Chain A
Amino acid sequence: MTTEPELAATPSGDVLELRPAGSWIAANGAALEILSDAVAPRLDSAKALKLDMTRVRELDTLGAWLLEKLLRRAATAGGQTRVIGVADHYAGLIEEVRQVNRHNPPPPPSRNPIVAKLDETGRLAQAATQDVATFLQMLGALCQALLGLLRRPGSLRLTSLVYQLYRVGWQAIPIVALITFLIGAIIAQQGIFHFRKFGADSYVVDMVGILVLRELGVLIVAIMVAGRSGSAYTAELGSMKMREEIDALSTMGLDPVEVLILPRIVALVCALPILAFLGAMAALYGGGLVAWFYGGMGPAIFIARLHEAVSVTHFEVGIIKAPFMALVIGIVACSEGLRVKGSAESLGKQTTTSVVKSIFLVIVLDGLFAVFFASIGM
């Protein structure tokens, strides 16, 4: 089996004689590299090189290449080279290795770091513009598909729509309710803890009510939906794109936007307000429980105070935002899905981008709505 490789170098006059022995195979790669590196400098001064391969027991591409490299080095230094004692069954391999690595491509020219930085900035700016364009394009395609639907209501993919509603709506209820319940409870606990110092614990009801109904309820739910359903949309559409399923749809004369994307986004737009409502209720419930057990405020008082503190306007402000957030999440998720290219890495990258971008846009949208509602006095 495998034996320890050796490389004996004996100078005789001007001729350097190399006698490799043992197993010159990949498994001994590290040892072989050390052996040949140790001998290499001596080749530059040798007039001639004689390579005696009689004692080589095993040889493979790696071993043959290391020996070939020594021969080439000697030849470049101007020495004569001669190979003897090659076993018949290795002759083909040695001949093959003699052909390789002859025309190495020059390494790519290194660029000025300032230019590279500028180039990168330019590309990023271009990509950002491209993002806006993609978003608007998807919005346009969606509107077009909706118009087509109005003209031919029969073309609505009802089964698909109901299935997507089930997935992004019904199946999301437990986790959404749990998280918002906890958030409501935490807000109430913090509120009671800090407001107590001013003797204002009863105002915690105002805080929980307004915060949850106006802002946090819908925002938390939208962020969760972006992470849960948006990422699923991107991954699904992305892998369909990778497996040419979307191309197959187009060649059958069907519009992928109408068949795949419209039901998904419509389902999201329907589901998010419902989830936001359920989330808000769960958060109020959580806040109420904490107020009762931690703050000592009974349910009757909590509800009475809540009645005074919040008006239907707060609830409207929250719920009006929900469908718009759903639209943004859906469009980002679907357009990122369609941008997936051939590799698994690209699918992962696009899914991450989808989630990050939709959460960012949801928060930006929330800010814009805050300004809007403030200016119209809601």
Chain B
Amino acid sequence: MQDPDVPFAIRVSDLVVGFGKRVVIDHLALDVRRGEILGLVGASGGGKSVLMRTIIGLIPRQAGTIEVMGALIGDSHDRRTQAAAGKWGILFQQGALFSSLTVRQNIQFPLRENLDLSDALMDEIATAKLEMVGLAPEEGDKFPSELSGGMTKRVALARALALDPAIVFLDEPTSGLDPIAAGDFDTLIKTLQKTLGLTVFMVTHDLASLNSVCDRVAALADGKIVAIGPMRDLLQSGHPWVRAYFHGKRSQMLQPKAS
């Protein structure tokens, strides 16, 4: 659905981000391939969200280049242009749904702002997106405060997909969901990635989703990507933090499946 000539959805090189004297991202390089699901792991407070927010332009960078779908991204002003808005969709951790709009209006919001469509068509598109994320059309008239955690995430995903972006950024999509809901959400991401040909950039701590949906996993430690590759490679990585992360008590359950 997008230009297939570009092999990488996101190319980050030599990126430096810091607050005051504290350097959070230190000369980081990361390539995200077209059509893959990349999981990003890292210590809490270790800069995962900072990296994601820098790529989408919410945090200014100190040095380095960021290329999205083959186009260099300049300062944060550029990202607000229509082209950029249609390129990516973002699922924030808490959903970030507009609380004064209904679910349907939330999904229609990017369509309404960027395209010139009839109301009837926008209603149909919103319903289609709702059904694609596994919700009933009736939920469209609810307000965000009436939704459960899992439904909020689904609606936020539907809104992120409203303009059919090439890339979706997911910030801890399964946090706060029960294992069944989290598993369903993982399946949903995988299905949508296949049908819509999405590139997914996912920040997560959920070992199960790393294992089941991610094509590649990148580990962020000390402001750099210390290991990247399929889950199997990461489990064999020698980096001490990566070892601690994947071989801790909580990740024991993954071992039999991975080996």
- Identify the A interface with B (CB < 8 A): 1, 25-27, 29-30, 33, 58-62, 65-66, 69, 89-90, 92-93, 95-97, 99-101, 103-105, 341-346
State the CA gap A59–B115 with chains docked (Å). 16
B100 touching A26, Cβ below 8 Å = no
User: What is the distance, in angstroms, from A335's C-beta to the closest C-beta of chain B?
Assistant: 20
Partner of B115, one of A29, A100, A343, A346: A29
Interface centre among A25, A30, A96 (most CB of B within 10 A): A96
**Chain A residues whose C-beta falls within 8 Å of the C-beta of B127 in the assembled complex:** 100-101, 104
State the CA gap A69–B138 with chains docked (Å). 21
- Say yes or no for B60: interface residue by CB 8 A criterion: no
**Chain B residues whose C-beta falls within 8 Å of the C-beta of A59 in the assembled complex:** 1
Of B37-45, B194-202, B208-216, the segment with at least 4 beta carbons within 8 Å of chain A is B194-202
**Chain A residues whose C-beta falls within 8 Å of the C-beta of B163 in the assembled complex:** 26-27
Given contact pairs A61-B129, A101-B127, A341-B145, enumerate 16 new A-B contacts (beta carbons under 8 Å): A25-B164, A26-B163, A26-B164, A27-B86, A27-B163, A29-B111, A29-B121, A30-B115, A33-B121, A62-B125, A65-B125, A66-B121, A69-B124, A100-B132, A104-B137, A346-B99
* Residues from 114 to 170 in B contacting A, C-beta threshold 8 Å: 114-118, 121, 124-125, 127-129, 131-132, 137-138, 143-145, 161, 163-164
User: What is the distance, in angstroms, from B34's C-beta to the closest C-beta of chain A?
Assistant: 12
State the CA gap A89–B4 with chains docked (Å). 12
Partner of B117, one of A30, A97, A104, A343: A30
- Identify the B interface with A (CB < 8 A): 1-3, 86, 99-100, 111, 114-118, 121, 124-125, 127-129, 131-132, 137-138, 143-145, 161, 163-164, 194-197
**Chain B residues whose C-beta falls within 8 Å of the C-beta of A101 in the assembled complex:** 124, 127-128, 131, 137
Partner of B132, one of A25, A29, A89, A96: A96
State the CA gap A373–B209 with chains docked (Å). 73
A93 touching B196, Cβ below 8 Å = yes
State the CA gap A100–B128 with chains docked (Å). 5
A97 touching B128, Cβ below 8 Å = yes
**Chain B residues whose C-beta falls within 8 Å of the C-beta of A66 in the assembled complex:** 121
User: What is the distance, in angstroms, from B166's C-beta to the closest C-beta of chain A?
Assistant: 10
In the complex with contacts A61-B125, A61-B128, A99-B131, A343-B86 CB distance below 8 A: no
Interface centre among A61, A90, A96, A101 (most CB of B within 10 A): A61
B1 touching A58, Cβ below 8 Å = yes
State the CA gap A30–B100 with chains docked (Å). 27
User: What is the distance, in angstroms, from A67's C-beta to the closest C-beta of chain B?
Assistant: 13
State the CA gap A26–B126 with chains docked (Å). 13
State the CA gap A59–B2 with chains docked (Å). 9
State the CA gap A299–B160 with chains docked (Å). 70
In the complex with contacts A1-B3, A59-B1, A343-B100 CB distance below 8 A: yes
B99 touching A342, Cβ below 8 Å = yes
28 contacts between A and B (CB under 8 A): A26-B86, A26-B111, A26-B114, A26-B163, A29-B116, A29-B117, A30-B116, A59-B1, A61-B125, A61-B132, A61-B161, A61-B164, A62-B164, A89-B197, A90-B1, A92-B194, A92-B195, A93-B196, A97-B128, A99-B131, A100-B131, A101-B131, A103-B137, A341-B145, A342-B144, A343-B99, A343-B143, A345-B99
**CB nearest neighbor in A for B35:** A89
**CB nearest neighbor in A for B117:** A29
**Chain A residues whose C-beta falls within 8 Å of the C-beta of B100 in the assembled complex:** 343-345
**Chain A residues whose C-beta falls within 8 Å of the C-beta of B195 in the assembled complex:** 92-93, 95-96
**CB nearest neighbor in B for A242:** B145
**Chain A residues whose C-beta falls within 8 Å of the C-beta of B86 in the assembled complex:** 26-27
State the CA gap A66–B115 with chains docked (Å). 15
State the CA gap A94–B258 with chains docked (Å). 34
**Chain A residues whose C-beta falls within 8 Å of the C-beta of B145 in the assembled complex:** 341-343, 346
User: What is the distance, in angstroms, from A356's C-beta to the closest C-beta of chain B?
Assistant: 20
State the CA gap A60–B87 with chains docked (Å). 13
State the CA gap A284–B127 with chains docked (Å). 66
State the CA gap A59–B196 with chains docked (Å). 9
State the CA gap A234–B127 with chains docked (Å). 37
A33 touching B117, Cβ below 8 Å = yes
**CB nearest neighbor in B for A344:** B99
**Chain A residues whose C-beta falls within 8 Å of the C-beta of B197 in the assembled complex:** 89, 93
**CB nearest neighbor in B for A65:** B128
State the CA gap A262–B125 with chains docked (Å). 51
**Chain B residues whose C-beta falls within 8 Å of the C-beta of A97 in the assembled complex:** 128
In the complex with contacts A61-B164, A101-B124, A26-B132 CB distance below 8 A: no
In the complex with contacts A99-B131, A342-B99, A345-B100, A105-B124 CB distance below 8 A: no
State the CA gap A1–B131 with chains docked (Å). 29
**Chain B residues whose C-beta falls within 8 Å of the C-beta of A30 in the assembled complex:** 115-117
B144 touching A33, Cβ below 8 Å = no
User: What is the distance, in angstroms, from A133's C-beta to the closest C-beta of chain B?
Assistant: 24
**Chain A residues whose C-beta falls within 8 Å of the C-beta of B131 in the assembled complex:** 99-101
User: What is the distance, in angstroms, from B98's C-beta to the closest C-beta of chain A?
Assistant: 9
State the CA gap A247–B3 with chains docked (Å). 52
State the CA gap A25–B194 with chains docked (Å). 17
State the CA gap A30–B116 with chains docked (Å). 5
**CB nearest neighbor in A for B97:** A343
User: What is the distance, in angstroms, from B152's C-beta to the closest C-beta of chain A?
Assistant: 11
User: What is the distance, in angstroms, from A279's C-beta to the closest C-beta of chain B?
Assistant: 38
| Closest A-B pairs by Cβ, 8 of them | A342-B145, A343-B99, A60-B164, A29-B115, A30-B116, A92-B195, A345-B100, A100-B128
State the CA gap A27–B85 with chains docked (Å). 11
Partner of B118, one of A33, A61, A89: A33
**Chain B residues whose C-beta falls within 8 Å of the C-beta of A58 in the assembled complex:** 1-2
**Chain A residues whose C-beta falls within 8 Å of the C-beta of B99 in the assembled complex:** 342-346
**Chain A residues whose C-beta falls within 8 Å of the C-beta of B129 in the assembled complex:** 61
